[in-house]
Structure 1
Amino acid sequence: MGEAARKRQRQAQAAKSVAQARGASSERNKIIAIVVAVVVVAAVVIGGVVWINSSKNSTEGTAIAPTTSTTLGPGVVEKLDGVVVSVGKPGAPKTIDLYADFLCPYCKQLQDSYGPKMEQAVNSGQLTVKYHMVTLLNENSDPPGYSLDSANAALAAVSSQKFTAFHDALFKSQPEEGGRGYDKAQLIKLGHDLGITDPKFDQTVNAGTYDKQIQAAFQQTENDPNLAQDFPNGAHGFGTPTVAVNGKAISTQGDWLTGVLNGTGS
């Protein structure tokens, strides 16, 4: 073999070695990239799980803030009739029935928008509000049962004339649907922070005294055709919130409360 041929052979071998080295390096880079991608995905998943769990359990160990804006005027009475709470002055010319679930975000929207206006009408003697606490979303807390526990606790506050303040505080600090609600100890503490000193309040909350009555009333409410409504998705039936006048559901679109007070929304 001539010198030129040997030179070409050495060059070919060198080029092959370089190619092999480059190939190995490329494979190493691919492996590193895959490992990095897996680590990143794992970090994102773990971070997401931690964030979801943190969000879901955001009520744990917290106190429900008592409201400072709720003030019932002189002569306003909170009265319990079965599991319906009437709030108003005797002889008020207008009455509405309000059906709501303490876990329902749309109920919170209604309370945020119209709660102060309703309470102003109550204080002025124009309106009586009959509150019906329903348990439509009772299975939608984790653990289930917050809708029922909160409804029972709100009823327990009536005898101390603290229902409205308790009701408003629960909507103000509403838990996230699908997450942890407030437990009985937290509900009791809210009552104490609002000034309830009667030991029967604690006993009623812990025992779930009104639970069976609340559930029976909800079954009747859910099956009442006068309370059924049409929804944007085409469904028809009972939903929350529902406002009723003379036993029949009315639309809560627009300034429905002014219509009720003026006699045009009945």
Structure 2
Amino acid sequence: MGGAERTARKRRQQQLTGKQAVARARGGPDRKKTAAVIGVVLLVAAVVIGGVLWTNASKNATEGQTIPTVQPASTDYEVRRDGLVVVSGSADAPTTIDVYADFLCPVCAQFEHSYGDEIERKVAAGELRLRTHMVPLLVEKSDPPGYSLDAANAALLAADAGEFTAYHDSLFAHQPEEGKRGYDKEQLIQLGRDLGIESQEFADGVREGRFDDELTAEMERVAQDPALQQDFGNGQRGFGTPTVVADGRIVDFSDPQWLDKLVSENRG
């Protein structure tokens, strides 16, 4: 092999070695990049799966729960069902209020938390008669839909069994979250049992939805009643819960003294 050949061969080897070095240099970051991408994908997948599991657990938080019972502040007064309305207190009471509420409505629960005990005490004292209208306004707002209707139906049946007030107060004290799972019919039946309602008539009425058709029709009527329409701002008017009516007019209960003032007016 002559000197020229050796020189050419050496040059080729140097070029090949250089290309291999470049390839190795390029390959390193590519492998690191691929590993990083895989790591990110796995992390995102873990976050998504974790989020789905958390969402499902949150959505179904009421599943398998026993609804805790709550006893009313006062019970020394008559409670009876009059059609789809539950009337509490004496017919001779100087003041009567009608309360329209939905068992899934969070503002209704806040209303009960703020004024429920006070209302019951005034009913027991003979100062107030309470007419409770349970309206399934949010029947589509539970998952699955229907809790508002099931709860309203069960409460009417509890009234027939003599346990309306405790049943009503228990459902509001432990209200499911709007947009998520409510309580199913068996849970509503168990609440009745825990309050002492042992009749098969109650359980069958809950399962069959005894008052469902009437409650649905009443909801449609109430929603169209001009006397129950309120101004929600931005030109929007309609029916909402809770709505309190006294002497044919809607009561503004944003004033913490609204009930005392109302009772005082009629007492005088």
Once the 2 structures are TM-superposed, how far is the Cα of residue 158 of structure 1 from its aligned partner? 0.9
* 1:257 matched residue in structure 2: 259
Q: Which residue of structure 2 lines up, in the alignment, with residue 29 of structure 1? A: 32
Change (3 A) 1:124 1:9: farther
8 Å Cα contact 1:97-1:247 kept in structure 2:
no
Question: TM-score, with normalisation over the residues of structure 2?
Answer: 0.89
Q: What is the aligned counterpart of 1:60 among 63, 72, 78?
A: 63
Q: Post-superposition shift, 1:129? A: 1.2
Task: Give, in whole Å, the separation in 1 of the partners of 2:180 and 2:264.
Answer: 40
Preserved CA contact (<8 Å) 1:73 1:123: yes
The answer on whether the counterparts of 1:99 and 1:242 sit within 8 Å (CA) in structure 2 is: yes
Percentage identity across aligned positions? 48
Amino acid at match of 1:45: V
Counterpart residue number, 2:157: 156
Q: Deviations over 1:184-205 (max 9, x none)?
A: 1111110110111333211221
Query: Structure 1 CA distance, aligned partners of 2:121 and 2:25?
Result: 80
Structure label with greater radius of gyration: 2
Alignment correspondent of 1:47:
50
Cα shift at 1:232: 4.4
Deviations 1:147-184 (CA, angstroms, capped at 9, x unpaired): 11110000001123211110111111111112221111
Change (3 A) 1:120 1:9: farther
**AA matched with 2:263:** L
Q: Report the secondary structure of 2:140's partner residue.
A: helix
**Do the aligned residues in 2 keep the contact of 1:160 with 1:196 (CA within 8 Å)?**
yes
Amino acid at match of 1:245: A
CA distance in 1, matches of 2:235, 2:195: 42
Deviations 1:92-121 (A, max 9, x none): 111111111111111111111111111121
In the other structure, the counterpart of 1:72 is 74
How far apart in 2 are the matches of 1:85 and 1:63?
Answer: 25
Tell me how many residue pairs correspond in the alignment.
Answer: 262
* 1:170 aligned onto 2:171: yes
Distance in 2 between residues matched to 1:226 and 1:142, nearest whole Å: 31
Q: After the TM superposition, which of the residue ranges 87-96 and 104-113 deviates more from structure 2?
A: 87-96
2-side partners of 1:7 and 1:108: how far apart?
Answer: 89
Residue identity matched to 2:56: N
Shift of 1:238: 0.3
Deviation at 1:71, TM superposition (A): 3.9
The one-letter code of the counterpart of 1:200 is E
* Residue of structure 2 in register with 1:146 after alignment: 147
CA distance in 2, matches of 1:144, 1:22: 61
Aligned-pair CA distance for 1:262? 2.4
Q: Which residue of 1 aligns with 2:200?
A: 199
SS in 1 for 2:68: coil
Structure 1 SS opposite 2:171: helix
State the match for 1:239 in structure 2.
240
Residue 237 of structure 2 aligns to which amino acid in structure 1? Answer: H
| TM-superposition CA deviations, 1:29-79 (whole Å, max 9, x none) | 1111111111111111111111111111111111111114x14342x1111
* Distance in 1 between residues matched to 2:171 and 2:11, nearest whole Å: 87
CA shift, 1:209, in A, is: 1.3
Do the aligned partners of 1:227 and 1:247 also contact (CA within 8 Å) in 2?
A: no
One-letter code aligned to 2:23:
Q
C-alpha displacement at 1:248, in angstroms?
A: 2.5
Q: Aligned equivalents of 1:71 and 1:250: distance in 2?
A: 23
C-alpha separation in 2, matches of 1:235 and 1:100:
20
Q: Secondary structure at the match of 1:80?
A: strand
Aligned to 1:224: 225
The 3 A distance-change label for structure 1 pair 98 and 23 is same
* Greater shift in the superposed pair: 226-235 or 33-42: 226-235
Alpha-carbon deviation of 1:230? Answer: 1.4
Structure 2: which amino acid aligns with 1:186?
Q
Distance 2:185 2:57 in 1: 20
**Structure 1 residues without counterparts, runs of 5 or longer:** none
TM-score (norm 1): 0.89
Q: CA deviation at 1:14?
A: 6.0
